[in-house]
Amino acid sequence: MGTQHAHPNPDAHGHDDHGGSHGSMREYVVGFLLSVVLTAIPFWLVMTGAIPDKQTTALVIMAFAIVQIVVHMIYFLHMNTKSENGWTVMALIFTIVIVVIALSGSLWVMYHLNHNMMPMSHDMDMRQVP
């Protein structure tokens, strides 16, 4: 009787491969370096005021955040179209939708709080006691 494997296609080391991959040291280093760069650039943009418009800066930072989420999902969570019969693509789409809802909702709330809570200059004149 021969040796039987739990999965018909084990890899060269005898491990079962169900379409997912485990990262190599090189992949982890690339993911880490991309994460550092994708964190440092928005930090630099804010600290130096490289973009004078605050709304544009916020949009650029949100774009970097979305790219960083994708980098983490690919390099650290090893999500691709081949693993788990494509369910990871659905997880990616779901994550992007949730992040867009959370970020846009947070920015909307902060904008309206800032707009509605800041006293106007004529309100300040009316509050002073003669």
> What pLDDT, on the 0 to 100 scale, is given for residue 69?
85
The region of weakest confidence among 33-47, 60-74, 81-95 is 81-95
CA 44, chain centre distance (Å): 18
Task: Match 């296609």 to its residue by tokens.
Answer: 9
15 vs 30, residue with greater confidence: 30
Q: Residue 53 is encoded by which pair of tokens?
A: 């418009």
> What pLDDT, on the 0 to 100 scale, is given for residue 36?
96
User: How many percent of the chain have pLDDT more than 70?
Assistant: 68
pTM: 0.57
5 vs 95, residue with greater confidence: 95
> What pLDDT, on the 0 to 100 scale, is given for residue 74?
85
